[in-house]
A and B are shown apart, each in its own frame.
Chain A
């Protein structure tokens, strides 16, 4: 699984107050702007370590960061299982561990449904690459997961009949909105 590709390359990894010196001169300019800038960098560095696998910012306990990372991934797995219950059904007991491995280095794709789809694609890629510990799907699981992804990304076979075509178009619109 190519996990590093989706980690943000430009994510800040500096310590918790990297802008303290440079922001000083502008502090008087406008109220909270300097404090906001320092806080923004500190929070982005921590969050990036937690959800994108970038290095733990200086001063944080790495074991605690790992625990928090795991807790966030666990929460995301639960949300994914709720919006896409087919995934835990197809993957069985393997769903949660494989989702958590995925989530720890792949930030949320924006929205729970897109997240579920990104995970399913990554899971299939992992299953295709030999020697990957996550590549242990059965033939049936691969088929079902591939079908699940295809149903949500198209192109679907053109349904025959006007009513069926309308229903398919409505479904497609609903999935875009969702």
Chain B
């Protein structure tokens, strides 16, 4: 698996700060926010400096009941080419439903929703992943999402489901340790069990993000500092295998660059304190 190193989510609000942040090996951009013909100057500067840029899609809905739309896959492929990216990532989620297959209005969720972890879902998702892989010029990695709602008829644990997807399609994994923590607090799903069941060698990189507890519910806001429990899950993951890349996601309520740098240092310390660290 390609080594990525330490990265941060590229956002227009912090783009100039990224020029000065030390030790940034790579960035991830939200694919839908990038227009291939008009790469923002700050991103172009990073590319010119040799910083790897990975497009991260949010609207494909590869876990939906329909086959992935060719134009959405083509758009992702176009961004891969424009950025010279070594891989492209999306989410194990559905984002729209209804329409022709159900005879009901097509509805957009506006965000990522969990798929049921059933045999039906696995069969559909595996085929959708293969369709996507055929259309994309680089490897695809898929991310585990956080959710508040749980399907009542799950037949697999999260780790088992991810392992099945890797086994059937060879897809790579983007493991979000903040999402594992979120699902622990909100749905009682043990991150250690998920990490035990999933194939760590399939991990392309890891997401780390901050959140906040409100009324007994963990909100994965990407707008608060990264907390100890999330770093603990990262530590658990690293004790199995140090991932090829780790990326801090911050989407809002941006702190001064020095604070971001300190947060990146904290994450680096977790990576290096584990016995397997390189």
Point out residues on A near B: beta carbons under 8 Å.
8, 10-12, 16-17, 31-32, 35-44, 46-48, 50-52, 58-61, 64-65, 67-68, 71-72, 75-76, 79, 107-108, 110
Contacts and interface: CB of A to CB of B under 8 A. Distances in A.
Contact of A39 (B104, B113, B116, B148): B116
Task: Pick from A36, A43, A60, A107 the residue with the most CB of B within 10 Å.
Answer: A43
Contact of B152 (A16, A50, A72, A108): A16
Nearest to B121: A39
Nearest to A112: B110
B98 interface: yes
Contacts of A76: 110
Contacts of A46: 97, 113, 149, 151
B149 A67 contact: yes
Contacts of A52: 105, 107
Contact of A10 (B103, B116, B217): B103
Nearest to B128: A32
A116 to B, nearest CB: 13
Interface in B97-127: 97-98, 101-105, 107-111, 113, 115-116, 119-121, 123-124, 127
A15 to B, nearest CB: 9
Contact of A65 (B65, B94, B124, B149): B149
A43 B105 contact: no
Given A36-B124, A108-B110, A48 B98 contact: yes
B96 interface: yes
B152 A40 contact: no
A11 B66 CA distance: 17
A90 to B, nearest CB: 22
Contacts of A35: 119-121, 123-124
B127 A8 contact: no
Contacts of A47: 94, 96-98, 107, 109, 113
Contacts of B127: 31-32
A100 to B, nearest CB: 13
Contacts of B152: 16, 58-60
B153 interface: yes
B123 A10 contact: no
B147 interface: yes
B98 A110 contact: no
Contacts of B153: 16-17, 59
B64 interface: yes
B177 to A, nearest CB: 20
Ranked 5 nearest A-B pairs via Cβ: A59-B152, A40-B65, A8-B105, A40-B101, A35-B120
Contacts of B148: 64, 67-68, 71
A58 B110 CA distance: 23
Contact of B94 (A43, A67, A79): A43
A44 B97 contact: yes
B150 interface: yes
A32 B118 CA distance: 13
A39 B101 CA distance: 10
Contacts of B217: 67
B149 A107 contact: no
Contacts of B109: 47, 50-51, 72
Interface in B136-155: 147-153
B168 to A, nearest CB: 12
A11 B149 CA distance: 19
B248 to A, nearest CB: 20
A11 B105 contact: yes
